[in-house]
Amino acid sequence: MAILITNSRRSNPRIRSFTKDLVRCLPQAFLLKRGKLSLNEIKKIASENNFHKMIIIYRGLHGNPGKMLFYNILNDRLKITLILKICGIKLLREFNKKDYVMSEANTGIIYVSGNSKSLEIAYLLSDALDMKTIYRIPIEEIMCSVDTIIYIYENNNIVEIKFLDGYVFKENGPLIKVKSFKYFEKREKNES
């Protein structure tokens, strides 16, 4: 299922780079350069092009992305499904991967290691992105089966989301540090 990704009107170069990194690493994701488009105009564009999911990146403190809103688009209506509040990011270019050539992702999976908070965020992302969540198996077993592995883990009581290339196991997207989250609809667990 295709995902439309855009940013808020109050954007800056760092948020635009973050948005482009997400588009490259998320399966079937497309970038919409927002400009001065209203939310209704974005919804109309998404409906005309058969997008059923949308992510909008909003600005936070000091010019960094502050939150990500995940939407479902149903019958020309936007429904918020998940809000991730972000306390820090690291762009792909900040990983110093000069020798790595990244291609766009077509398939992806969510892999979890950690406690109940990271598992909860994994299930919420699974629902918001229509992706399968896997845990309790070694990560080596899923390598070379998908383009992108969304790896969710906890580091110093902060849940981090890392995007990894499923074939060479290197970063192929940004690192996102999640401060808090809020969901808006009942979700079904999609696990292995």
Residue 176's pLDDT is 97
**Average confidence (pLDDT) over 18-39:** 92
Residue 101: what residue type? V
Instruction: Return the CATH architecture of domain 3-183.
Output: 3-Layer(aba) Sandwich (3.40)
Instruction: Report residue 113 CA to chain centroid gap.
Output: 17
**Would you state the pLDDT for residue 98?**
60
- Band of pLDDT at residue 145, cut at 50, 70 and 90: confident
DSSP-assigned letters across all residues of 95-161: G---SPPP---S-EEEEE-SSHHHHHHHHHHHHHHT--EE-SS-GGGTTTS-SEEEEEEEETTEEEE
pLDDT at residue number 181: 93
What pLDDT is recorded for position 59? 93
- For position 13, what pLDDT does the model report? 93
* pLDDT exceeds cutoff 80 at 192: no
How many residues appear in the chain? 192
Predicted confidence (pLDDT) per residue in 90-137, tens digit: 998 888 766 555 667 778 888 888 778 899 999 999 999 999 998 888
In 10 A of CB 155, how many CB atoms?
12
How confident is the model at residue 115, as a pLDDT? 79
For residue 144, pLDDT over 90 is answered with no
Q: What is the pLDDT of residues 39-85, one digit of tens each?
A: 999 999 998 899 999 999 999 988 899 999 999 988 778 899 999 99
What pLDDT is attached to residue 189? 44
Mean pLDDT (the chain, rounded): 87
Percent over 90 (pLDDT), the chain: 51
